[in-house]
Structures are given as structure tokens and as C-alpha cells.
Amino acid sequence: MFDALAERLESAWKTLRGQDKISESNVQEALREVRRALLEADVNLQVVKDFVAEVQTKALGEEVVAGVRPDQQFIKLVYDELVSVMGETNIPLAEASPAPTVILMAGLQGTGKTTATAKLALHLRKENRSTLLVATDVYRPAAIDQLVTLGKQIEVPVFELGKDADPVEIARQGVERARAEGINTVIIDTAGRLQIDQNMMSELARIKETIQPHETLLVVDAMTGQEAASLTRTFHDQIGITGAILTKMDGDTRGGAALSVRRISGQPIKFIGVGEKVDALQPFYPDRMASRILGMGDVLTLVEKAQEAVDLADAEKMQEKILSAKFDFTDFLKQTRLLKNMGSLGGIMKLIPGMNKLSNEQLQQGETQLKRAESMINSMTPEERKDPDLLAGSPGRRRRIARGAGYAESDVAKLVADFQKMRSLMQQLGQGQLPMPGMFGGG
Ligand code: GDP
């Protein structure tokens, strides 16, 4: 369940266990792992360098959060930074008033530009926005036919003037047509080339100048990885984009291009393409992409839950109590509730490296035991909760509690005995005599 990166970070930070803070010297190895992870996810090298420098600065300024290990805290910080760099939230498509909204599609040949044009139209229909598609790629023999076919498939009209017309003129007339017919959005598919080509760029610039689009979307193939960065720079410098669509995210790419595109152009990814079919388009969410780039959703969930559930001062007090063996049934209840806040015991345990080998049966047993203990403790008087020894010496008290909780007297006796054993283990632990014991062992 844990991906290679998580394991590497794990070992990079082993030296940090027992230490309580991220420092200049111990952060270096983890930063190297982040750098490697981003490069593996195909983020551009310069973008990676800037990102790592930023994370380093932030990591050194981090406060310690009780209940969260420094390595986990660090991963969360990296994740937050990724989300932030990619723009935090989904940015929807512009909608112009008065209509039509004009969207210009740009990108190299084969990236999925024509497919994305049709996908967008289908997406907009779900938002009750009518569309007109405009075919301006007069160079590639089958390009116009391809768009017409896609249009038929999704029942959206396609405007074209054949392959002898001037692309700028086709675009201009297409927008006119949409306006005349009261269509909400017009999407203009343009010619791509296999590589950046000055003719293609100047034609795009002329189309843009003529139709003054509300959105100029760069279609980027996620599989191109590192090259996405220079591609974005060229298009943004020469044409000016307002956003991007990252296609072929259904492949085995980690999607690092998303980071490059946003960082270099300052413009958001708005959609991702996740398949060849016309409905395979999804709005882009920075948080989901960040998990994908890091490849470690599990750790993040754990840290987030821990941060929500743990109150710093409370946790410190608890630790003191545990180590000085002043831990009583009330503290035990509190701990149990804390675990519950964090979700089911099984869910939490599975997120902890090494614990995921526990069988479901074992986890369920642990959870049942906790529930039983809780209901018995609820039937105790405040004095009894404070002083488990009261119960050890009084079968009468144990019977009363058993009746109240719906268990046998022997169950209460066992809880008390287990608790006493646990407390004495904790005492020894506090005095440094034992390795960490299993707190709720035995059935
Ligand atoms: P264009 O030259 O940029 O217009 O690219 P096309 O729209 O013709 O797409 C090129 C190829 O990529 C076609 O085979 C598409 O089916 C495929 N394609 C487009 N988008 C996606 C996507 O999101 N996922 C996958 N797997 N294939 C895609």
C-alpha cells in the first residue's frame, strides 16, 4: 500500500525519530527525496529547484505538532505547497456576458486538442451551455472531418468552410455565427504541428487578435513530461494563455506537467483528459493532483486526521501522565475517544507503516475490546475511574459495574487486571526499562 517514495522518506527520516523538530541539518535528506519524487513525476528541473528551496524555508519555520512525527509533518508540508503552487482550487471556465463566450484551443498536433474540443462541448452541455465548434485546421487532411464526426457524435454543430479557406476568416465567421444564433459558447479548434513552428504561432496570434477570445486554453499532453515546461513558456510568451487542459492523464504519468504549466505560466490547469472517449474529461483539482504527484495519499490522510484530533497541550499532559503512571480510567476513556475521532481503529492502523500487516480479524477484535472497555468505564463512579485499585479489591463494585454495562463480573475483573498490568508497564516504560509494549494485548 505504501509507495516507494513513502518508504524512502521513511528511511530518510528515521534519524529524526525521537528528535522533535525539523532542522537545517536533518531536513537535507528528505529534501533530496522530494526532489527525486518530483523529477520522477516529470516536473521540470528548474521548477523542482524552486519548489524545493521554498519547501526548505517553510520546513525550518514549522511548529511541532504533537502526535505527528516530523517526517509525516514534512510530507504534509510538501503536499500543501504542491496544492498551493497549483492554485488551491478548481478554476471554472469563463462565461462571458453577453454571449458567446469564445474559447480558443491551442497546442501541438497529437496532444488531443480536437478531442478536447469535443469533450469541452459535452461538458458545457451538462451545465446547460450550448456550443458551436469551429474547425480551422485546414492543413491536416482529416482534421475537419474528425471534428465534424465528433460533433455528430455528441450532437453539437460544427462550423467549417472547407480546407481552402483562411483559418483566421473561419474563426471570425464562426464567432459571428454563434452570436447570430444565440449560442452560449464557441470553441475554436486550431491547427497543431508536431513541433513549435513559427507559421503556426503567427497564425494562432492572428486568430486570437481577430476574435479576442475569453479563454485561450493550451492543450498539453501529460505524457510529454519535462517538455511541457518549454512548450508552455513558448505558447504563453507568444500567444498568451488563460489556462490549460492536461490530456492523457489516464496513462501512467504522475502528472508533474501540471506543476510546470502552472508555475511557468501562472495560469491554471482547468481540466484533465482521462481517456479517448468524449466524456473522459474532468475538472482539475490541485489537491488530487498533489496526492498523485507524491503518490502517497495514505500518509496525508493520517496526518490530517491527527492534526484535527490532537490538541497539543492535551497530548503533552497525557504523555506525562502515562510516563508517571498516573494514568487512570478517565484518561483511558479520553484516549479511546481520541482514537475514535481519528476514525475507526482499523482505518488508522492500516495507515501506520508496519501495522498494515494486522489482519482484519485482529483489528476488529481490538475495536470490540475498546468498545467493551468503554461501556464498563461508563458504569464506574468517578472515584472508581480514578483509582482502579478500588475495583481490584471489591467484587461487589465489579458486579455492580458488570450489571450496568451488561457484562459478566469476570469481564470487569479482567479489564481491571489488564489496566493494572498496562499501568505498571507504562511505569517501567517511563523509567526507561522496556521497549514499547503492546498496550491492549491478549483477548
Ligand atoms: P490533436 O492532433 O491535438 O487534435 O489530437 P487528437 O484530438 O486527434 O488526439 C490524438 C490522439 O490522442 C487520439 O488518438 C485521441 O484519441 C488520443 N487522446 C486524446 N485525449 C486523450 C486522453 O485524455 N487520453 C487518452 N488515452 N488518449 C487521448
ipTM of the complex: 0.99
Question: Is 225 annotated for ligand binding?
Answer: no
CB-ligand 1 contact for 225 (6 Å cutoff): no
Position 237 scores a pLDDT of 95
Omega into 157 within 30° of 0, i.e. cis?
A: no
CATH class of 4-89: mainly alpha
Domain boundaries, the chain: 4-89, 101-284, 311-430
Residue with cell 490549460: 244
Please give the pLDDT value at position 437. Answer: 36
> What confidence category does residue 115 fall into, taking pLDDT thresholds of 50, 70 and 90?
very high
What is the pTM (predicted TM-score) of this model?
A: 0.68
Between residues 317 and 293, which one has the greater pLDDT?
A: 293
Kindly indicate the confidence band of residue 110, based on its pLDDT and cuts at 50, 70 and 90: very high
Render pLDDT for 50-77 as a digit per residue (tens, 0 to 9).
999 999 998 888 776 666 677 777 878 8
Per-residue pLDDT reduced to its tens digit, 317-372: 666 666 666 778 877 777 666 655 555 555 555 544 444 445 666 666 767 777 88
Q: Which three cell numbers stand for residue 378?
A: 461508563
Strand blocks (E) in 232-316: 243-247, 269-273, 281-283
Q: Is 119 a pocket residue for ligand 1 (Cβ < 6 Å)? A: no
Instruction: Choose the CATH number for 311-430 among 1.10.260.30, 3.90.1150.10, 3.30.420.40, 1.10.357.10.
Output: 1.10.260.30
CA–CA separation, 255 and 292 (whole Å) = 7
Closest C-alpha to ligand 1, atom 20: 112
8 Å CB contact between 66 and 312: yes
3-state DSSP assignment of residue 171: helix
Q: What does the alpha-carbon distance between residue 65 and residue 21 come to, in Å, rounded to a whole number?
A: 9
What string of DSSP letters covers 257-275?
Answer: HHHHHHHHH---EEEEE-S
Cis check: omega of the bond before 98, within 30 degrees of 0: yes
Give the H or E element holding residue 352. Answer: none
Query: Cell numbers at residue 434, please?
Result: 522496556
Residue 304 dihedral angles phi and psi, to the nearest 5°: -60, -45
For residue 247, the ligand 1 atom closest to its alpha carbon is 23
User: Look-up: residue for cell 517526517?
Assistant: 71
Please, are residues 223 and 253 in contact by the beta-carbon 8 Å criterion? yes
Cα–Cα distance measured from residue 45 to residue 38, given in angstroms and rounded to the nearest whole number: 9
CA 276 / ligand 1 centre spacing (Å): 6
C-alpha cell of residue 260: 510546470
Cα 268 to its chain centre, rounded Å, is 16
Mean pLDDT of the chain: 82
Q: Is 112 in the pocket of ligand 1 (CB under 6 A)?
A: yes
Determine the topology of domain 101-284 in CATH: Rossmann fold (3.40.50)
pLDDT-based confidence at 266, cuts 50/70/90?
Answer: very high
The answer to whether the beta carbons of residues 87 and 286 sit under 8 Å apart is yes
Q: Is the CB of 279 under 6 A from ligand 1?
A: no
Rounded to the nearest angstrom, the distance between the alpha carbon of 248 and the centre of ligand 1 is 7
CB distance 274 to ligand 1 below 6 Å: yes
- Angle, in degrees to the nearest 10, between helices 4-12 and 28-40: 170
Per-residue pLDDT at 440 exceeds 50 = no
Please give the distance, rounded to the nearest whole angstrom, from the Cα atom of residue 114 to the centre of ligand 1.
7
Answer yes or no: is the C-beta of 280 below 6 A from any ligand 1 atom. Answer: yes
